[in-house]
Structure formats: C-alpha cells, structure tokens
Amino acid sequence: MSDIHAGDRVALVCPSCSPYDEAVHEVLKPGGHTTVRCTECHHVHKAQIDVAQDIEISVIVSHDDDSFRTRLEADPTETVETGDEFIVDTEEAIHQVRVTSIELGQDRRTEHAQMDEVRAVWTRVVDNVSVNVTLHPKDGSRDDTRSISVQVPGDYEFRVGDTESFGDDEFTIEGLYVRGDASGYNFDKFDHEGDMVFAKDLKRIYARDETTTAWSAW
C-alpha cells in the first residue's frame, strides 16, 4: 500500500481558495482525516485522502536468447511507457531492464499506458548486454564479412573511430546503429568520428577488422 506521510504533497481542492480545482497541499498530520495545508493560500483543513492499493504487474524479461517472467508491484495510477527503465528482483538475479512493449487486454500492444490497464510489461536486460558486431576486412571488401558478439556493461561507451579489443578480436568502429527503444538520440545511425552510443542502446556495430589473423585462412 502507498502510505501518506507528513511532508508529502498531494493534490486536493481547497475550501478557501480553490473549491473546484485541485491545488497542491502539504500533509501536516496523516490519519483517517488528514490534516493538510494549501500551498497557495496556507489554509489548514482536514481532508479524506484515498490511498491506492498497489497492484502486481506481470513482467517478461528478455536476456540474450532467454526470457523469464516475474512480477512487479506498482501504483495503479502510475504510467509506464516504452523506453522506461527500472529494477526487477528475481530468483536468478537483480537486473536493470528497459520496457520494449506494453501488453493490454485482448493481445493489444501500446507504447504508453496507466498501470491499472496493463496486462504485462515486456522488457530486456540493459545492465549487462550482448552487442552484435559486423566486421569487414581491412581491404574494404564486403564479401568476406564476419559477425561476433561482445559482452559489456550497458553503460559502456562505443565511439566511431575507436579501436576496441575483445579477446582475440580487434576492430575499429565505423558505424553505430541505435535500437528503436533507445531515447536521447537524434538519429538511428552514427558514422562520424567521435559519435558515441551506449552499449544498451545499440542494435549493431559495423567495424573494420583489425585482427591480425582474421583472414589468414583465406
């Protein structure tokens, strides 16, 4: 249950200055009839504040090729939208996840909803992620490309022009493609020197292979 505490701010009508429209009030003394003070005119009065019961929302968590289901307690009046991030605590681990889709009743999907309308929230893990990298040979040939996947923290920074090393693989970044659920980017592709995208926001990296023995077998 979401409790009301002294010092909280709530929206209520004020019998002194705003009898029809809600105004911000400060809670002075919680209780059955809560004592509040209007922040507009400072009038002190009592009010009945309905405290909403938290509800449980089904959360589907995707991590690489696996997925599992857990549950999240939420205020029914809160909203959720694609791109939101939050923490889920499961039997397997504690993860930071990002909302990728919101399921309503009758298999309908939306990008924004109030919690009491939500049937399930689909998410993916973003604290540690796998990033797909497409590599092409130094000579510029596109016929002999190869793909690898690198494991990094979600806030790892990839920049166009940087050379990265992961195990036996080394590559220079030429292009960064952004996921559709990422926010804060003006474009879905970056290919200028110094452009940066966080690992959790990446759909794919295109890079020049710098691995010494990468193409020796051919």
SS3 178: strand
Domain definitions of the chain by residue range: 9-47, 55-125, 128-209
Task: Look at residue 53 in the predicted model and tell me its pLDDT.
Answer: 74
**Tens digit of each residue's pLDDT (9 = 90 or more) over 184-203:** 899 999 999 999 999 999 99
**Tens digit of each residue's pLDDT (9 = 90 or more) over 144-181:** 899 999 999 999 999 999 999 999 999 999 999 999 88
Residue 113 has pLDDT above 50, yes or no: yes
pTM of the model: 0.71
**Tens digit of each residue's pLDDT (9 = 90 or more) over 80-97:** 999 999 999 877 788 999
Nearest 5 degrees, angle CA 94-CA 95-CA 99? 140
Residue 218 has pLDDT above 80, yes or no: no
What are the E-state strand segments in 64-201?
Answer: 66-74, 79-81, 85-89, 94-103, 109-110, 112-114, 120-125, 128-136, 146-153, 157-159, 163-166, 169-178, 189-190, 196-198
Express as a percent the part of the chain with pLDDT over 70: 94
Q: Of 148, 138, 162, nearest to 216 (Cα)?
A: 138
